[in-house]
Amino acid sequence: MEFTAKQIADFIGGRVEGDEQAKVNTFAKIEEGKEGAITFLSNPKYTHFIYETKASVVLINDDVVLEHPVTATLIRVPNAYECVAKLMQMYAASLPKKKGVDPLAFISKTAEIGEDVYIGPFTYVGDGVKIGKGSMIYPHVTIYDGCQIGQNVTIHAGAVIGADGFGFAPSQEGYDKIPQMGIVVIEDNVEIGANTCVDRSTMGQTVIHKGVKLDNLIQVAHNCEIGENTVMSAQVGMAGSTKVGAWCMVGGQAGFSGHITIADKTFIGAQSGVISNTKGNGEQLIGAPAIDPKVFFKAQAVMKKLPDMYRELGALRKEIEELKKNK
Amino acid sequence: MEFTAKQIADFIGGRVEGDEQAKVNTFAKIEEGKEGAITFLSNPKYTHFIYETKASVVLINDDVVLEHPVTATLIRVPNAYECVAKLMQMYAASLPKKKGVDPLAFISKTAEIGEDVYIGPFTYVGDGVKIGKGSMIYPHVTIYDGCQIGQNVTIHAGAVIGADGFGFAPSQEGYDKIPQMGIVVIEDNVEIGANTCVDRSTMGQTVIHKGVKLDNLIQVAHNCEIGENTVMSAQVGMAGSTKVGAWCMVGGQAGFSGHITIADKTFIGAQSGVISNTKGNGEQLIGAPAIDPKVFFKAQAVMKKLPDMYRELGALRKEIEELKKNK
Amino acid sequence: MEFTAKQIADFIGGRVEGDEQAKVNTFAKIEEGKEGAITFLSNPKYTHFIYETKASVVLINDDVVLEHPVTATLIRVPNAYECVAKLMQMYAASLPKKKGVDPLAFISKTAEIGEDVYIGPFTYVGDGVKIGKGSMIYPHVTIYDGCQIGQNVTIHAGAVIGADGFGFAPSQEGYDKIPQMGIVVIEDNVEIGANTCVDRSTMGQTVIHKGVKLDNLIQVAHNCEIGENTVMSAQVGMAGSTKVGAWCMVGGQAGFSGHITIADKTFIGAQSGVISNTKGNGEQLIGAPAIDPKVFFKAQAVMKKLPDMYRELGALRKEIEELKKNK
């Protein structure tokens, strides 16, 4: 498939600066552009690459003023990043999609698999599992008995859905297992990253609501609930029974204590430790325990001066004692 | 299976308040109770749910005083949480248990598998591995050559037992691999969570002692040792050769430096970083580096005021200079 | 295979103290030494074990002065740890190596597998994947379409190479997936730990350069690049488009923000959070946000005194007001 700069500009409503007949047949990062590639400039940090890129066409925001001439043909658009995403989506949609249940998958006889589902080799689908239409389950996924997967869900390799929640009752001799009799429910349009774990609930359901996106290596404990369209970066951990609201964003390696509730549209910084309920929509939190980012970063800046402050405190104390004596 | 409130009360030694003939056939969380379900009230935060639950029967502590009438039948017991756990264990024990080696598992000819073991599809059991009787190895587990698994061990999907420890010797050109020639020994009654990794030792054994419970996505490095009945939450990481004592509890995402020893009954908070030996039984630690929780939380509370403190220090300095001048 | 102390000493250029004919046929840690084992003393913390070890032969540094007689035969060498590593490498090289593609692996017809490659059961090798000669791919690895693996690469069980990067564009109704059309390139002599994830790039390549060693449960996001011979401990997380230089060492559970660049030979402590570019070769960083370790540890030491400092500040304020009044 090959397109000219003009064809692309017409399709996305952009304006060509340079050779309208410049041809492209692939995508590239601006620093790796080569002949025949279309690329984009969105992050101002990368502006210098536009003068040296070998890409044939560059999508660029209307308002970027270039200081030197460029050899690439430009397509001016209001939002270059959005446009390249749109082009990639269009291109990806034109590619053949993986489909069907691979003969090397294990599918329980009592599982129900929807239409147009892809299930990769070595994926395990337990008893009573339901998978909605259009979902893509990559190789090596494990879906324990009874879990329910919605439509257009994507689950990447190695993810484990529905393993036992971590529940034990202490006894004299050790710990007795508390049976984990609930399930996991994953609603429509969810994406779950590689090697991420979502545990079944003790009773009832662990629920991942529609549109949620979970990155790799995340832990969602038993009885948790994640609201619609919430996004979590890699290695986040949620302890048991915690509920995160809708449209939240959670940075990588952040952790949540158990039995807490996070309001909608909460933004939680990477590596934070959230240990209590949050209230406000739109709240931002960072640190462990997590606090207002402005307070956090100011305090962190002063942290480095702590030893000096400690010494200064001692000096002031001495001087005051001196002053008091000489009064 | 259906039971009356009276039958259950007799079985667990409780006292019925309400309809002795109320029938239940399933478990539910109190906030999701429905007709025919038995639930429990243990966490005082959830007390308000008892007035609106649709569950038929609620297990409740003897000492809880209710302020309004409830429609559910109550069973009064000394410890509702323990009782529901016991009922669930009894119920789970009555269900058919997965058993046998799935034909889609890979079992080395030199592996020894005990009686009544379950091994799921796509699980890999290497040369010379031993698995004790009654153990349940879920799908997609990898057990490398020579590792030894005790009796009644549960290993969840995707766990990796016995991969090479992370040992390399620097050279001029890069790093040379140090062969990892030891094994992993997992004793009886251990539970290992999904996608957790326990590395084989360089020489000798990495040992998980009996009754240990490891949650998901945990890293146990080569030559580590975890004492009896210690419990670790998800995403904990142990660096090489570290020994954690018996009956410890470790919160999620905590980390341990290598070559340190943690005393029995140590309680380590989530996200802590433990970098040195600990002494006392019953010690509590939190933070990174980990310290006494009382000190930690007090310091964290003051943290937010650090910028103010810094300004105040400067102000005091000026005022003292002024006082000294005017003396 | 059995060797005498003299044979070993001759081979590694050491000097025997004790019985030159002492025979060994296995390796052991010094605290677990038994008859017929060779062990080593390298960490001074373990010196006391040499007086009680039952090992037949102990490799020990030339400069260690022993205070009591020992029963084991000693081999004196300049660096005991290096020598034992060398012996283990020699021994490991003499053992039969796993080789060949297991019939239970899934290999796409369009994949290219080099000579002397081992691919374990249940490993998935997608379309267009290339694996260089001598590489060892353990069971349960997933290599997505198009990814390229160099020569003598080791990938441990459960690792996922080339899952989609975490890229979504917000819309009114939720998030639209940004297709991840790039690949992962893993160069020669890389080792990748169990359940580690390396995501494919949005366009272009996520690159792990030659000689890199990644421990278990690490997350490498899309478009990242890791320089030659860099070593990362378990559970490290890298956000998208971050570049880590060559010969860096990264402690366990550390995290990197996206779109930053880390200089060569940077040493990053465990659990650090690196949020901006670093400059200097040989720089050391720890903490979150990561700072100079000297500053960090001094500040942490003072941290505990923060509540006292806060009280003292208030006291000083009062005394100064008093002094000002009485002036």
pLDDT at A192: 98
Q: For residue C140, list chain B residues with Cβ-Cβ distance below 8 A.
A: 122, 124, 140, 142, 158, 160
Contact criterion met (CB < 8 Å) for B323 and A323:
yes
Is the CB of A215 less than 8 angstroms away from the CB of C166?
Answer: yes
Q: Is A194 left (phi over 0), alpha (psi -120 to 50) or beta?
A: beta
Residue type, A61: N
Percent of chain C with pLDDT strictly greater than 70: 100
Q: Are strands C136-137 and C154-155 parallel, antiparallel or unpaired?
A: parallel
Inter-chain touch C235–B255, beta carbons under 8 Å: yes
Question: Is any Cβ of chain A less than 8 angstroms from the Cβ of C160?
Answer: yes
- Site from A201, A203, A215, A298 to mutate, B interface, most B CB atoms within 10 angstroms: A203
Helix A306-325 and helix B306-325: axis angle, to 10°?
Answer: 30
Q: CA dist C300 to A252, A259, B288, B292, C86, Å?
A: 24, 30, 9, 13, 40
Catalytic residues of C: 222
Does C173 contact chain A (CB < 8 Å)? yes
User: How close is the nearest chain B Cα to the Cα of A205, in Å?
Assistant: 9
* Shortest Cα–Cα distance, A149 to chain B (Å): 18
* C175 and B CB contact within 8 Å: no
Residue A88 sits at the chain C interface (C-beta within 8 Å):
yes
Contact B174 C229 (CB under 8 A): yes
Stretch A251-261: mean pLDDT: 97
Q: Exposed e or buried b for every residue in B61-74, given b needs 16+ CB within 10 A?
A: beeeeeeeebebbb
Of A43, A234, A327, the CB nearest to C221: A234
- What single-letter amino acid sits at C101? V
pTM reported for the whole predicted model: 0.95
Q: What is the pLDDT of residue B201?
A: 96
Measured distance CA(C237)–CA(A235) in Å, rounded: 7
Interface A-B, measured as beta-carbon pairs within 8 A, has a size of: 173
Q: Measure CB to CB from residue C193 to each of B163, B179, B326 and give the nearest one.
A: B163
Return the closest-CA partner of residue B125 out of B170, B135, B230: B135
Q: Is the peptide bond before C44 cis (omega within 30 degrees of 0)?
A: no
CB contact under 8 A, C289 and A300: yes
Question: C163, A140: Cβ pair inside 8 Å?
Answer: no
Q: Nearest to residue A86, comparing CAs of C179, C166, C172, C182?
A: C179
A141, A143, A160, best to mutate vs chain B, most B CBs in 10 Å: A160
Q: What is the pLDDT along chain B (327 residues), one digit of tens a residue?
A: 789 999 999 999 999 999 999 999 999 989 889 999 999 998 888 899 999 999 999 999 999 999 999 999 999 999 998 899 899 998 888 888 899 999 999 999 999 999 999 999 999 999 999 999 999 999 999 999 999 999 999 999 999 999 999 999 988 899 999 999 999 999 999 999 999 999 999 999 999 999 999 999 999 999 999 999 999 999 999 999 999 999 999 999 999 999 999 999 999 999 999 999 998 889 999 999 999 999 999 999 899 899 999 999 999 999 999 988 876
Q: Is the pLDDT of residue A327 over 70?
A: no
Tell me which of C45 and A143 has the higher pLDDT: A143
pLDDT, mean of residues C147-173: 96
What residues 177-206 of chain B have any CB closer than 8 A to a CB of chain A? Answer: 189, 191, 193-195
Bridge partners for C136 per DSSP: C118, C154
pLDDT in tens, A167-178: 999 888 999 999
Statement: residue C224 has pLDDT above 90: yes
How far apart are the CA of A209 and the nearest CA of chain B, in angstroms?
A: 17
Chain B, 291-320: which have a CB under 8 Å from a chain A CB? 300, 303-304, 306-307, 309-310, 313, 316-317, 320
Q: What is the pLDDT of residue A325?
A: 86
Strand order in the sheet with B154-155: B100-101, B118-119, B136-137, B154-155, B191-192, B213-214, B231-232, B249-250, B267-268, B284-285
Q: Say yes or no for a CB contact (<8 Å) between B299 and C303.
A: yes
For residue C285, what are the CA distances in angstroms to B290, B293, C42, C73?
19, 25, 27, 43
As a whole number, the mean pLDDT across chain A is: 95
Residue B78, pLDDT score: 94
CB contacts under 8 A, C 3-22 vs B, are none
Mutation pick from B302, B309, B318, B320 vs chain C, by most beta carbons of C within 10 Å, is B302
Question: What pLDDT was estimated at residue C175?
Answer: 95
Hey, are the CB atoms on B91 and A181 less than 8 Å from each other? Answer: yes
- What is the token pair recorded at C131? 């694996």
Instruction: Give the nearest partner residue to C121 out of B106, B144, B195, using CB atoms.
Output: B106
- Kindly state the average pLDDT of the residues A231-253: 98
* Contact of C103 with A101, CB cutoff 8 Å: no
Residue of C nearest to B275 (CA): C270
Q: Does B158 touch chain C (CB under 8 A)?
A: yes
Q: Which of the other chains make 3 or more beta carbon contacts under 8 angstroms with chain A?
A: B, C
| Antiparallel, parallel or unpaired: β A124-125 and C26-27 | unpaired
Predicted pLDDT at C44: 85
Contacts of C129 (CB under 8 A, 6+ apart): C108, C111, C112, C143, C144, C145, C146, C147, C148, C149
Instruction: Extract the tokens encoding B34.
Output: 């429905």
- Tokens describing residue A294: 């402005």
Reported as a single tens digit per residue, the pLDDT across C7-50 is 999 999 999 999 999 999 999 989 889 999 999 998 888 899 99
What pLDDT does B280 receive? 80
What are the strands of the beta sheet with C191-192, ordered from one edge?
C100-101, C118-119, C136-137, C154-155, C191-192, C213-214, C231-232, C249-250, C267-268, C284-285
pLDDT digits (tens, 9 = 90+) for A50-65: 999 999 999 999 999 9
pLDDT(A94) > 90: no
Q: Which of residues 109-138 of B touch C (CB under 8 A)?
A: 122, 124
- Which tokens in the block code for residue B10? 């007799």
| Interface chains of chain C (3 or more CB pairs under 8 Å) | A, B
Give me the active site residues of B, please.
Answer: 222
Q: Is C301 helix (H, G, I), strand (E, B) or coil?
A: helix
pLDDT band per the 50, 70, 90 thresholds, residue C327:
low
For chain B positions 51-80, those within 8 Å of chain A (CB to CB) are: none
A326 contact B CB<8A: yes
Q: Using CB atoms, list chains with 3+ pairs below 8 Å to chain B.
A: A, C
Question: Which residue of B27, B217, B304 is in closest CB contact with A295?
Answer: B304
